[in-house]
Structure 1
């Protein structure tokens, strides 16, 4: 979709301008955040005030689900916990959680069609929270509208423990710490998230040092990381912001480090009270083979445990 801003539309916020042609302001905001909207060829924030004559282009199919016959590829994943209300999925690296721009087929949401349910968007039914494509590990998926509502509410109340294992470049100066810094689109590189932003949203990440490793002068730290909020790329952005990017991270760190083809980040534990029974659900996931190999590579030098 392509439109030119009329003189009477000048000064409107971009998301408000697109609300009517896209069906809702929330959908407009999602497409803007996904990078599917440009103004005069550049990605801008949803709060951008449009000017007369500017050309707005929208990939208005970026959030649309593919036709069922186009879903295609078989998706492999493990299910370490399941009952009548929900399931916990152990997602491998490389698997996209739901369809989006550039990833229309072969997603987890599509593989769970007919099983997962709940949420406003049918094309990602049941998805309560997500993981980046190249982050492996655990996420919870609802099987009904009520289960989705209750799990979302628990997540917002910070009653869901999401614990990650991350190997980072260098060693933090403290055995534990908290990064409390808003995250939004980077001021200069709009495809990246950053703490250097004009549109930051509250974000808090906690970490604890598990192990210090060395390799011929290079030093790494194995961290246990917990999310208090859930912003896009939050762990990766926060650790990069304190000078300790996730090992192998192609966007925020050093690609290919320790032979990695992705960031060393794994959602290792997911714990919460069952939304219907209140019984504890506590699931753990072991490091996948590629991360174990990278850890062995990092252990090539002297190490010490704390």
Structure 2
């Protein structure tokens, strides 16, 4: 299925936010469920409300939420306001600025903050805060001012943002040429067998769940992706790893580690919010759920970021502290492991 460009529907005085074409093999499926497979952060109740208001169209006809989508149907979501990227509003949002000069800015993004506006997140994003803090951020082809890379909403850590057109072009080329340095810390389910290794496999949109990325090892679909990892600590049923990205694909670490059987801890989208390893004891299950409460997101932090300064030519390297929610969760697992040394870890 293919999402087309947003466009303005002048006659209807509505803005098209989404446009999907059902594949030839699409089985009959309720339109609300169909859209949930494609629209990030959408809830079924919101989609049902949109349909009730006449904002969900199938082949240009407004339909109810129980309408069945069939092969080759064109499904559109239209609303009375333009898509979020056309509504970039400056907001006085506190930013954790690690470094800033006239050319670029390095920020430490907290978990829970979306990087740029999109469906369901029209305000409170990093970009909203950046355009308040900095005048005339350069735009790119996706209308995301200053951005040359991004990290997921519930991933914390370092991002570099360009303040000039030259810096944007220079930094973008570095990411394309893979000359940047990016190290992440991740807590993953299971005992990672090798002390270090490399995960390689094309990453593309999952054919089963469009909100997930999947690994296609044969290389016939998706984009080439390489993740190098090193085990930092083994904690019985979970492992703390350091990941070095050679490429920067969407959800790369999350998809790669799920592919090798070590889904990130409490990664809801990829199933890491289930108890994937451990015992059947009630006390253990309660312990894991307590860990989920301490760390209510995927255990992933962009810890280190290195790049060449576009003007000075100096290689700059920045490091950030692992956030408290991750360190508290790790400490809980350390205590559990110390008290469970007689339990044989599962692979």
Distance, in Å, in 2 between the alignment partners of 1:39 and 1:192 is 19
Q: Distance in 2 between matches of 1:95 and 1:52?
A: 37
In the alignment, the residues of structure 2 paired with residue 231 and residue 52 of structure 1 have an alpha-carbon distance, to the nearest angstrom, of 30
- Corresponding residue SS for 1:300: helix
Corresponding residue SS for 2:138? coil
2:325 matched residue in structure 1: 290
- Indicate yes or no: 2:292 matched with 1:273: no
| Contact 1:183–1:193, Cα closer than 8 Å, also in 2 | yes
CA distance in 2 between partners of 1:301 and 1:124 (Å): 44
Which residue of structure 1 aligns with residue 248 of structure 2? 230
Mind listing any 5+ residue stretches in structure 2 that lack a counterpart?
A: 9-16, 23-30, 39-58, 60-69, 275-287, 342-347
For the Cα contact (< 8 Å) 1:270–1:283, is it kept in 2?
Answer: yes
Structure-1-length-normalised TM-score: 0.78
Are residue 247 (structure 1) and residue 265 (structure 2) matched? Answer: yes
Q: Is the 8 A contact 2:2 2:21 kept in 1?
A: no
- In 2, distance between residues paired with 1:67 and 1:254? 33
Q: Give the equivalent residue in structure 1 for 2:284.
A: none
Paired residue for 1:55? 74
What is the rounded CA distance, in whole Å, between the counterparts of 2:18 and 2:331 in structure 1? 40
Equivalences for residues 114-153 of structure 1 within 5 A: 115=134, 117-121=137-141, 123-153=143-173
For 1:132-155, what per-residue CA distance to the aligned partner results, in whole angstroms no more than 9, with x for missing partners?
Answer: 000000010000111000000011
**Is there any run of 5+ residues in structure 1 with no aligned partner, and where?**
1-12, 24-34
Deviations 1:82-101 (A, max 9, x none): 11100110000001100111
Partner deviation per Cα, 1:105-157 (whole Å, 9 max, x = no partner):
11111111152622425842101100100000001000011100000001111
Aligned to 1:7: none
Question: Using the alignment, how far apart are the partners of 1:85 and 1:59 within structure 2?
Answer: 39
Asked if 2 retains the 8 angstrom alpha-carbon contact of 1:136 and 1:266, the reply is yes
Decide which structure has the larger Cα Rg and report it: 2
Question: Take 1:146 and 1:111, find their aligned partners in 2: how far apart are those partners?
Answer: 22
